[in-house]
Amino acid sequence: MKLLNHVTAYFAAILLVVLTAWATIFYYNMLDEIYDSIDDGLENQKILVMQKARQDSTVLQQKDFDEGYYKIRPIAPALGHQYKDRYQDTLMYMQNEKDYEPVRLLTTVFQQGGQYYEMRLITSMVEEDDLIEDLLYSLLWLYLGLLATLLLLNNILLKRIWKPFYTLVHRLRKFKLDGAQPFTSPKSKIEEFALLGQTVEKLLQKNLAVYQSQKIFIENASHELQTPLAISLNKLELLAESPNLQEKELEQIGGILQNLERLTRLNKSLLLLSKIENRQFPEEQVLQLNATVKTVLQDFEDQIAYKKITLTQELDDHCSLTMNPDLANMLVVNLVKNALVHNVQGGFIAVRLTGSTLTIENSGQAAGLDADQLFQRFYKGSSANTSTGLGLAIVKAICDLYGFTINYEHTQSHVLQVKFK
Amino acid sequence: MTMKALWITVLAVGTSLTGCSQKISMANMPSVVQNGLKTQFPNAVNLEWEKNGDMFEAEFDFTQQEYAALVDATGKVVAVKQEIDATQLPEPILQQIKTSHQDYTLDDVEKVERDGQVLYQVELQKTMREVKQVYTSAGASSSETFWD
């Protein structure tokens, strides 16, 4: 549930309670006010009738409500003394309405010329159920109106207020430590959001600094290793050519040479990875991938033939990509090499290129590989000691750089598929 | 609790000091008595009733002046008192006051009508002293009791 809706829901509930309470109080106040004014009116009528009776004694003959709002009858003084002014709600049959209507009735006693008279006065009443109904409806409209206002406010005002927060979250989602985009916190006049942004920015800057220094260290280390490795290799080769060497010594020198060469490959791959991740291949051009695939497969022809591997290719010539040509080459090379190295004698490799995918299928060990770890550096599915375990890591790095996705599937064979779009 | 007890005592003493007259709410007033007053003073406002023995005393405002009236149980208005301005006092009374209380100042002046006769009640003040006097309109001192 979104924060805005949370606020709205709470408000709606609170409003309902508050409005109900308010309506009750308001209703009784209204009723009180209405009764007050009705009773005041009756009081006034009473005085008027009494004054009229003083001037015109025929008023005292009014025995019924027939054509007036009062009736008078003489009563005994002893009884008259006990009367207090009494206001009542009652029903009275109305000729014009042909129905019983609620009326307010005032009963009082006055004395004129030593004779006591009981007088009853009536006035029509507001119908309470009508009042309640009206109030309820108007209240319902008020509630709905308030809710609508609240929703409007939330969706316009609060959204605007919370905008920096959402922007921050959005930027954080997109942020990558190895990304080229630096993180900037969104500007906000609201102190808390500004603080949040600044705090996150500082945190990320620290992380970035650490990450950068680590990366530089790796680059430097592998770069500095190149020279001694090259020198060692050279010297060993010279040593191997010296005349008075025994068979055993030669074998050992050969072993050392092999290991040093592997170390050199490792180093080169690591350097390449760093370079890719640092985006040090800026130049891009539109290239046809089928040409690249063809040349790579030609380069590996000998090795494929040596392992007696059946190669099938279906190459669509409508796959044009905008990318660095060296990296395109490296992508294909590493995929093909991977399919070749982990293959079995007399196996098969199938290369399929469509407009948006490159799929390489190959036979190999029966067990599937862990798809999560497959693209990690130095992960080796097999114990082939010639592989550096960096090939697929390089492939993955190139894919990440250009926003391609790469998937691994294992059915009867191993399938690697790169989606360009 | 002691505070409460104190208040109750204060209230009890206070009410006992007001004497034998007691306030009556409008709802508890006999209709006859009320209507007797209302026919004579239809536009009375801020009406308050007190019971005084078997008489009822009403205090009210009428045409923006303070009035008081005594009404008996049959609703007959027995006496009416109204506040008047000192300048409205009859000349004989003013002369009388000048001679008998020359260093007093006039404070409250009231006109009382009872059984068709008109009396004037005057409160006179001097430092630390207050005198209440009742006069007839001729300026003579009346033996009638001062109606507070």
DSSP string for residues in A149-206: HHHHHIIIIIHHHHHHHHHHHHHHHH--TTSSSPP-PPP-SSHHHHHHHHHHHHHHHH
Q: Are residues A265 and A324 in the same domain?
A: no
A86 to chain B, minimum CA–CA distance in Å? Answer: 8
| The predicted structure's pLDDT at residue B11 | 53
| The predicted structure's pLDDT at residue B131 | 87
CB contact under 8 A, B31 and A108: yes
Domain B22-80 has CATH 2.40.50: no
Q: What are the chain B neighbours of A80 within 8 Å (beta carbons)? A: 31-32
Q: Are residues A203 and A136 in the same domain?
A: no
Among A255, A276, A297, which residue terminates a domain? A276
Taking an 8 Å Cβ-Cβ cutoff, which residues of chain A contact chain B?
Answer: 46-48, 50-51, 54, 77, 80-85, 108-111, 114, 116
H or E element, residue A210: helix A191-240
Q: Which of B26, B27, B75 sits opposite A111 (nearest CB)?
A: B75
User: Which of A39, A109, A116, A118 best tests the B interface by mutation, with the highest count of B CBs <10 A?
Assistant: A109
Q: Residue A339 is encoded by which pair of tokens?
A: 């399919």
Q: Are residues A291 and A224 in the same domain?
A: no
Contacts 24+ apart (CB under 8 A), A11-18: A11/A150, A12/A147, A12/A150, A15/A143, A15/A146, A15/A147, A15/A150, A16/A143
This model's pTM is above 0.85: no
CB contact under 8 A, B32 and A82: no
* Minimal-distance CA residue of chain B relative to A110: B32
B110 to chain A, minimum CA–CA distance in Å? Answer: 27
Length of chain A: 421
Contact (CB, 8 A) for B75 and A113 = no
CB contact under 8 A, B31 and A109: yes
Portions of chain B given CATH number 3.10.450: 22-80, 84-143
Q: Residue A347 is encoded by which pair of tokens?
A: 């196996």
Q: Which of A82, A111, A114 sits opposite B36 (nearest CB)?
A: A111
Q: Are residues A246 and A298 in the same domain?
A: no
Residue A185 lies in a domain: no
Domain B84-143 has CATH 3.10.450: yes
Q: Which of A47, A83, A114 sits opposite B31 (nearest CB)?
A: A83
Domain that holds residue A42: 3-149
Q: Are residues A236 and A371 in the same domain?
A: no
Please give the interface size between A and B, counted as residue pairs whose CB atoms are below 8 Å apart. Answer: 53
* Minimal-distance CA residue of chain B relative to A49: B39
Q: What CA dihedral angle connects A7, A10, A13 and A18, to 10 degrees?
A: -90
| The predicted structure's pLDDT at residue B16 | 47
Q: Are residues A259 and A304 in the same domain?
A: no
Among A149, A179, A208, which residue terminates a domain? A149
Q: Are residues A382 and A328 in the same domain?
A: yes
Q: Residue A395 is encoded by which pair of tokens?
A: 């492939």
| The predicted structure's pLDDT at residue A127 | 67
pLDDT string in tens for chain B (148-residue length) = 455 555 655 555 444 444 456 888 888 899 999 999 998 998 899 999 999 888 999 999 998 899 999 999 999 999 999 999 888 899 999 888 888 888 888 888 999 998 888 999 999 888 888 888 899 988 888 888 888 7
3 state SS of A415: strand
3 state SS of A10: helix
Q: What are the chain B neighbours of A115 within 8 Å (beta carbons)? A: none
Q: Are residues A195 and A294 in the same domain?
A: no
Residue A253 lies in a domain: yes
A50 to chain B, minimum CA–CA distance in Å? Answer: 6
CB contact under 8 A, A110 and B75: yes
Residue A399 lies in a domain: yes
CB contact under 8 A, B31 and A85: yes
Contact (CB, 8 A) for B136 and B119 = yes
CB contact under 8 A, A83 and B30: yes
DSSP A54-121: HH-GGGGG--SSTTSSEEEEEE-HHHHTT-B-EEEEEEEEETTTTEEEEEEEEEEEEEETTEEEEEEE
Closest by CA to B26, choosing from A112, A122, A121, A106, is A106
Handedness of CA A203, A208, A214, A217 (dihedral sign): negative
CATH number at residue A233: 1.10.287.130
Q: Are residues A84 and A12 in the same domain?
A: yes
How many domains in chain A?
A: 3
pLDDT string in tens for chain A (421-residue length) = 677 788 888 888 998 899 889 888 988 898 888 888 889 999 999 999 999 998 988 888 888 887 778 999 999 988 988 899 999 988 888 777 788 888 899 999 999 888 999 999 998 886 667 877 888 888 889 888 988 888 888 888 888 888 888 889 998 888 877 666 778 888 888 899 999 999 999 999 898 899 888 888 887 887 888 889 999 999 999 988 888 888 888 888 888 998 898 888 888 888 888 888 777 777 888 988 888 899 999 989 888 899 898 989 888 888 888 888 888 988 999 999 888 888 888 889 999 998 889 999 998 877 777 777 788 877 776 555 566 778 888 899 899 888 899 999 888 888 999 998 8
H or E element, residue A251: helix A247-277
| Distance, CA of A54 to CA of A46 (rounded, Å) | 13
B51 to chain A, minimum CA–CA distance in Å? Answer: 15
Q: Are residues A292 and A314 in the same domain?
A: yes
Q: Are residues A34 and A134 in the same domain?
A: yes
CATH number at residue A360: 3.30.565.10
Contact (CB, 8 A) for A381 and A327 = no
Distances (CA, A) of B123 to A109, A244, B89, B97, B139: 39, 152, 13, 11, 15
Q: Are residues A76 and A206 in the same domain?
A: no
A145 to chain B, minimum CA–CA distance in Å? Answer: 43
Residue A72 lies in a domain: yes
Q: Residue A30 is encoded by which pair of tokens?
A: 């209204």
